[in-house]
Amino acid sequence: MEFLSDLQAQFSTAYELLAAGWGVQLLWGIAWTLAVTVVSMLIGAVLGSLVAAAKLSHRGGLRFIGESYTTVFRGEPELLVIYLFYYGGTQVLTGVARSTGSIGSTDILNMPSFLGGVLAVGIISGAYQAEVFRGSFLAIHRGELEAARAYGMSAWLRFRLVIVPQVLRLAVPGLGNVWQLTIKDSALISVTGVAELMLTANKAARSTHHSLLFYTVAGILYLVMTSISTPIFEKAERYTSRSFTRPK
Amino acid sequence: MDLDFYLSTMWSVLKALPLTLEIWFFGIAFGLIIATGLTWLRASGYRLGEYFTRAYVFIFRGSPLLVQLYLIYFGLSQFDFVRHSPILWPILRDPMYCTIVAMALNTAAYESEIFRGALRAVPVGQIEAAKAFGMSAFTRFRLVTLPIALRLALPAYSTEIILMTKATALASVVTIMEMMGTAQKIQHDTFRPIEVLTCAGVIYLLLNLSIARLFAWVEYRLSPHLRPPPEQSQQIKPVPEVL
């Protein structure tokens, strides 16, 4: 049983290493991962609803923009989008700062890594959320919108009282999926240097030479995050559809 | 606009396309084999098999592919028995094989769920009819269940394949010079990330669009029974006199 003794040797040091400070670091990593995910989801929600509106628009131009957005950002590797915003942002910022003379002609103005990462992940998340919102809107019963119009509701009132509550109710399961995707995408922004869970695990693995331990712990923590969110979204689903439950 | 730069970048990135496709193909092929095994295990009705597949799907769908890749590439080599194994070590010390293994294990979890859903969606009436015809279990599976289930699984499967194309880019973080890795290198050399990444992005997008188109075509070919019948008038449309 060479394997078992090996495993035991690997994991006997686990407690020591985690107690020696890496445990706290990993908890901070979780906090950053959640921060990245939440901010990205919010950016994605704003972009997603705008893009969904564009895709549902009667104007061909807007529809084309919406279609292109969802096709491009769901079709590109996430890593590429993240590099584009991080390094591309640096390129733009440096160019602007050099031309205004606020930095020297050989200096570089770096894109803040959190901002770059969150923008990239948020835009990807927005592409998926747009599809969720669009599907939910299409699932609203036409008669409800007609009835609202027949009552003489203004466009804003219709949006606030009829469309939003129903889209939210129908979108919750889809948003749950996007949330899971976004948590997993947030691991990729470790490449830009945001000290989220993945990067913390990386640092720990490199400096202690216990990669197996730290990547396993990171994997378990991601599993905890994704599985905790399932009941939360189920609760949200029950809450948003509380007026739609039918007696069995 | 520096057209020469775009063209030369495009060409350099395109030269890495075969490597990307290699990772993509083997990841998908091995993934399909594992997924078939998992689906069979899940459908076999053994309690233990069901627990195993449930745990497998939970683990591989719930954590990021990057963690799985690092765990396989950096983590497993910590075991002495892996380093001393004549079979495992040549596979696990090579970043290319590690990427393929990680992708295959990851996609198998998603695919086995797709296949399970497709198997469950086969109409019961079809299977009952096959039974009534006296087909053996194998014939029933080969002629009725499998063709229907494959057809039902196709749309979700094509989405998964596109996710796999995107996942090949992760190979660049373990030093593989596929398209993403090549683009990264050019970007570092020239410090023109926007131009370089746009070139790579165009190639990835075209690749994914053609894969989507291919699957749409296969789907169309496989569902002649779902298409509306051609209009009678169109069939006997006279040849225009003036050509």
Across chain A, mean pLDDT equals 90
Rounded distance between C-alpha atoms, residue B227 and residue A81, angstroms: 38
pLDDT at position A33 over 90 = yes
DSSP labels, B102-135: HHHHHHHHHHHHHHHHHHHHS-HHHHHHHHHTT-
pLDDT confidence tier of residue A227, bands split at 50, 70 and 90: very high
CB-hemisphere CA count at 13 Å for A45? 15
Rounded distance between C-alpha atoms, residue B204 and residue B198, angstroms: 10
Rounded distance between C-alpha atoms, residue A74 and residue B28, angstroms: 19
More confident: B234 or A5? A5
Q: In a mutagenesis test of the B interface, which of A111, A123, A212 is the best target, namely the one with the most B β-carbons within 10 Å?
A: A212
More confident: B9 or A102? B9
Contact: B197, A92; criterion CB under 8 Å: no
Instruction: Look at A2-16, B36-50, B76-90 and tell me which has the smallest mean pLDDT.
Output: A2-16
Which of B67, B170, B205 shows the shortest C-beta gap to A218?
A: B67
Mean pLDDT of B183-208: 94
Most confident of B10-19, B39-48, B216-225: B10-19
Rounded distance between C-alpha atoms, residue B71 and residue B92, angstroms: 11
CB atoms within 10 A of CB A247: 3
pLDDT at position B233 over 60 = no
Mean pLDDT of B5-10: 93
CB atoms within 10 A of CB B23: 25
A41-85 pLDDT, tens digit each:
999 999 999 999 999 999 999 999 999 999 999 999 999 999 999
Give, in order, the Cα–Cα distances in Å from B82 to each of A4, A66, B86, B101, B105. Answer: 13, 50, 8, 15, 18
pLDDT at position A181 over 90 = yes
More confident: A106 or A207? A207
pLDDT at position A3 over 80 = no
Query: Considering only CA atoms, which of B164, B157, B149 is closest in space to residue B214?
Result: B157
Token representation of residue A4: 């078992």
- Output helix, strand, coil percentages for chain A, rounded to the nearest 5: 85, 0, 15
Q: Given this model, what pLDDT does residue B112 score?
A: 95
Query: Considering only CA atoms, which of A196, A201, A227, A228 is closest in space to residue A216?
Result: A201
CB proximity A17 to B under 8 Å: no
- Output helix, strand, coil percentages for chain B, rounded to the nearest 5: 85, 0, 15
Which residue is it, tokens 């020591």? Answer: A16
pLDDT at position A32 over 60 = yes
Provide the residue type at B196 as one letter.
Answer: V
Q: In a mutagenesis test of the B interface, which of A30, A70, A76, A209 is the best target, namely the one with the most B β-carbons within 10 Å?
A: A76
pLDDT confidence tier of residue B142, bands split at 50, 70 and 90: very high
pLDDT at position B242 over 70 = no
CB B14 within 8 A of CB B21: no
Contact: A76, B170; criterion CB under 8 Å: no
Which of B79, B166, B184 shows the shortest C-beta gap to A78?
A: B166
* Domains defined for chain A, CATH in brackets: 14-240 (1.10.3720.10)
Provide the residue type at B182 as one letter.
Answer: T
pLDDT confidence tier of residue B80, bands split at 50, 70 and 90: confident
pLDDT at position A24 over 80 = yes
Residues 6+ apart with CB under 8 A from A25: A200, A203, A204
Q: Given this model, what pLDDT does residue A245 score?
A: 65
Q: How far, in whole angstroms, is CA B40 from its chain's centroid? A: 19
**Helices marked H in A140-189:** 142-150, 155-158, 164-186
Mind telling me how many Å the CA of A229 is from chain B's nearest CA?
11
CATH superfamily for B20-173 is MetI-like (1.10.3720.10)
pLDDT at position B234 over 70 = no
Rounded distance between C-alpha atoms, residue B164 and residue B178, angstroms: 14
Mind telling me how many Å the CA of B201 is from chain A's nearest CA?
6
Query: Considering only CA atoms, which of B176, B178, B173, B164 is closest in space to residue B67?
Result: B173
pLDDT at position B43 over 60 = yes
A26 backbone dihedrals φ, ψ, rounded to 5°: -65, -35
